[in-house]
Amino acid sequence: MSAIVVDTSVWIEFFRGVTIPEVESALKESRVVLPPLVVAELFSGHLTTKNLDKLKLLVNQIGVIETNLEHWIEVGLLRSRLSSKGVSVSTQDAHIAYCAISLKAELASLDKIFKTVAINSSLKLANLL
């Protein structure tokens, strides 16, 4: 089974106690990977000390995608290709999408922009239903 990149929108629901079978299965199988920007977004929320400790533990157990200069060039090129198709996407969302594309992984997200990105690129979305 391939890796699954999990976006902040899914983690928010996950931490609220919503059952997301695809993510729970991927966590058990150690297939979840995190874009560095998702890590930053997760720690940007108002967290209790208890939740902060839980989040630190989780992030340390999950693989974080390492990025280099080539990654960021590809993020920019993805934004450019999408823009030429009339799709405007933030650098953050392009980074998250490219993390999944580069790993040939599915992206688990509840953000609608990624459906548009998937239609206009090689991004594959996880079925969260």
| 32-52 per-position pLDDT tens digit | 999 999 999 999 988 788 888
Domain 4-125 in CATH 3.40.50.1010? yes
| pLDDT for position 98 | 98
| pLDDT for position 48 | 82
Q: What residues does each domain of the chain span?
A: 4-125
SS3 content of the chain, % helix, strand, coil (to 5): 55, 10, 35
pLDDT tens digits, one per residue of 3-31: 999 999 999 898 888 999 999 999 999 99
Strand order across the beta sheet in which 124-125 lies: 63-64, 32-34, 4-6, 106-108, 124-125
pLDDT tens digits, one per residue of 81-127: 999 999 999 999 999 999 999 999 999 999 999 999 999 999 999 98
Let me know: does 2 contact 96? Beta carbons within 8 Å.
no
What tokens appear for 51 in the block? 């939740």
Sequence-separated (6 or more) residues with CB below 8 Å from residue 14:
20, 23
Would you say residue 129 has pLDDT above 70? Answer: no
